[in-house]
């Protein structure tokens, strides 16, 4: 949930950056890096992407959850579906974003769409995703058969 909320917050900050006035902070003209201007929206965009990177791990967490809830006999099939879903996202995501960005509203529709997808995913995780088995131990260390019961002795 933490990584998904980080992604959601990142897209929200990204949307805010699109509304900020383009105020120059630093102008650079270097033979090594070339000429560019650092603006307030650009700094906010960097912060948004950094937040998403710091709270990242959505795919790793999803793979771990899938491993927890999948029976051994269905494991390769389910991980194959997960790989297909991710690869389709890498193919269709930029195409959809490009089509949305080609509208009269410019870069706003792709970011709003990403924010809404992240909001839906966060709601699904919070309210619709069953928890995986919290206690994988069937016997507590020390011999007690009840995982939540008192330890003998």
Q: Dig out the tokens for 144 from the structure.
A: 């007690």
Nearest residue to 86 (alpha-carbon basis) of 114, 113, 59: 59
SS3 71: coil
Q: What is the pTM of this model?
A: 0.77
Domain extents in the chain:
2-127
Q: Dig out the tokens for 6 from the structure.
A: 């980080």
Tens digit of pLDDT for each residue in 17-72?
999 999 999 999 999 999 999 999 999 999 999 999 999 888 888 888 898 888 88
d(CA 147, CA 152): 12
């Amino acid at each position: 949930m933490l990584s998904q909320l980080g992604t959601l917050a990142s897209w929200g900050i990204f949307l805010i950056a699109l509304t900020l006035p383009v105020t120059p902070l630093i102008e650079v003209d270097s033979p090594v890096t070339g000429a560019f201007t650092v603006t307030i929206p650009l700094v906010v965009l960097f912060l948004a992407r950094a937040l998403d990177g710091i709270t990242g791990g959505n795919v790793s967490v999803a793979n771990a959850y899938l491993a927890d809830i999948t029976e051994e006999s269905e494991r390769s099939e389910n991980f194959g579906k997960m790989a297909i879903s991710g690869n389709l996202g890498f193919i269709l995501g930029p195409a959809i974003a490009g089509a949305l960005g080609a509208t009269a509203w410019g870069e706003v529709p792709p970011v709003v769409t990403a924010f809404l997808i992240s909001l839906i995913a966060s709601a699904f995780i919070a309210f619709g995703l069953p928890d995986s088995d919290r206690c994988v131990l069937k016997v507590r260390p020390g011999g007690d058969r009840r995982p939540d019961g008192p330890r003998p002795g």
